[in-house]
Amino acid sequence: MKLYNTLSKKIEEFVPHEEGKVKMYTCGPTVYHFAHIGNLRTYIFEDILEKTLEYIGYDVKRVMNITDVGHMTSDSDSGEDKMLKGAEREHKTVYEIADFYTKAFMSDIQKLNIKKPEIIEKASDHIDVYIEMIETLLKKGYAYEASSNIYFDVTKIPNYYELSGKKSEDLLVGVRDDVEEDKAKRNPADFGLWFTTSKFENQVMRWDSPWGVGYPGWHIECSGISYRYLGEYLDIHCGGVDNIFPHHTNEIAQSESFVGHKWCNYWCHGEHLNDSSGKMSKSKGEFLTLSLLESKGYDPIIYRLFCLNSHYRSQLVFSYESLDATKNAYQKLLSKIKSMKEQPDGQLEMNVIEQYQNQFKEALENDLNTANAITTLYDVLKSDCTNATKLYLIESFDMVLSLNLLKEDVIDATLESYIEEMIQKRNEAKKNKDYTLADQIRNELLEKNIELKDTREGTTYVIK
């Protein structure tokens, strides 16, 4: 599997810390409003990454946080507390706002066939781990107290700008311009780990800490949740490109100073979806949500396909014209498949299946080339394979693409009889004590995602 790594700025071969297993952390939503479809593009890319890793045989453990503690967009941002702004807008408490928009987020990802990450945790539920980490950072001399707040001293990290590839001079200009900057900080680029003197009026979410009642900085949230659920080593960390600086830069600084070694090897970032004005925004123009698209008659899966047609590292411009083109293509695709399902005849051609599966895998293993993966799907449809073979492949590809290509569970009769035949062959091999052949048959099926299970009643199977 080859992935572009923002850390090295190169496409690299992916090698996890533990063979066959992937620990993956994906930054979650700030739940002060609905997600816009730009945010959702990032979650679709992460979903494809997770499913590709699973498709090629990895066991993936994925964690996501829900940012429910109020934060400004960055520590050097002079804006308002997003959560509080949401609460004021809707005359609700910040807790009600967080709860409502978390549910809205879950509903959006479900509609887009995004697999719910194995672990989803609220930032406000892990204050103890942030405190533990901050105490260690203070002890190790990476953090300091100023004006009753705790800051991270970025000058302690020689390669602080490695991920962003920025120059410290460039960044300091932006920081210096900020009138809200805490004058007590040692360096303008230092960022907050714990605030007791709120930059926000009426900060509602507050917790006790060794440094007084306050609330954590934004970045420590992800470092803390990742450490709690995935431990000291992480394989892949994802987010949108806007997360590279300062968020992920600061996560690296904190986590590596805390654990005392390199923390995460692969940093993968999705490019933005823009609207015609240049930037997707929740405040100006039409606020593009998934529900808005639905209200205009677009199945959410059309938006998923729209995203998959382009590479996750290219900027994508949203327009209703392009979405309409995708809608047409999707409808044609479904009707073609539907007619095939009505005649699921012919033999399963296992060699051809393997060849197309390899082509599909190759596309995805090449830094998630989803457009080529979809081309493979079209190649299959255009080919002269039997319908049974085509349906088998469509089902297999849809485990990653998740485009509802075969809405009902399609285990057609042909596939069933193929598996039964293989089970019989394996039973015979076992009877003849030819365990090599028996294992070979089991592995062959496993490669096609069919897992045999030997029970007292006989051999059964599951299609994964």
The correct pick among 243, 386, 389, 396 for binding ligand AMP (CB under 6 A) is: 243
12-48 burial: b if 16+ Cβ within 10 Å, else e: eebebeeeeebbbbbbbbbbbbbbbbbbbbbbbbbbb
The correct pick among 16, 22, 34, 41 for binding ligand AMP (CB under 6 A) is: 41
Q: Per CB under 5 A, does 222 bind Zn ion?
A: yes
Map residues 73-112 to x or -, x wherever contact with ligand AMP holds by CB under 6 A.
----------------------------------------
Interacting partner of 344 out of ligand AMP, Zn ion, none (Cβ under 5 to 8 A depending on kind): none
Widest pairwise Cα distance in the chain = 82
Of 24-32, 84-92, 201-209, 291-299, the window that binds Zn ion (rule: CB under 5 A) is 24-32
Question: Which amino acid appears at position 191 of this protein?
Answer: F
Structure-block tokens of residue 263: 């923390």
Map residues 293-322 to x or -, x wherever contact with ligand AMP holds by CB under 6 A.
------------------------------
Shortest distance (Å) from residue 272 CB to ligand AMP: 4
Q: Per CB under 6 A, does 226 bind ligand AMP?
A: no
By beta carbon distance, the residue nearest ligand AMP is 240
Q: Per CB under 5 A, does 27 bind Zn ion?
A: yes
- The span from the CA of 373 to the CA of 357, in Å, is 10
Of 105-113, 165-173, 214-222, 345-353, the window that binds Zn ion (rule: CB under 5 A) is 214-222
Please give the helix or strand (H or E) that residue 119 lies within, else none: strand 119-122
Q: Per CB under 6 A, does 52 bind ligand AMP?
A: no
60-97 burial: b if 16+ Cβ within 10 Å, else e: bbbbbbbbbbbbbebbbeeeebbbbbbbeeeeeebeeb
CB 305 within 8 A of CB 273: no
Count of chain residues binding Zn ion (CB under 5 A): 2
Sequence-distant (6+) residues with CB within 8 A of 458 are: none
Q: Per CB under 6 A, does 16 bind ligand AMP?
A: no
The correct pick among 22, 27, 44, 403 for binding ligand AMP (CB under 6 A) is: 27
Instruction: Give the other-Cβ count within 10 Å of 404's Cβ.
Output: 15
- The span from the CA of 359 to the CA of 309, in Å, is 17
In the complex, which residues of this chain contact Zn ion (CB under 5 A)? Answer: 27, 222
Q: Interface residues with ligand AMP (CB under 6 A)?
A: 27, 29-30, 38-39, 41-42, 67, 239-240, 242-243, 270, 272-273, 280
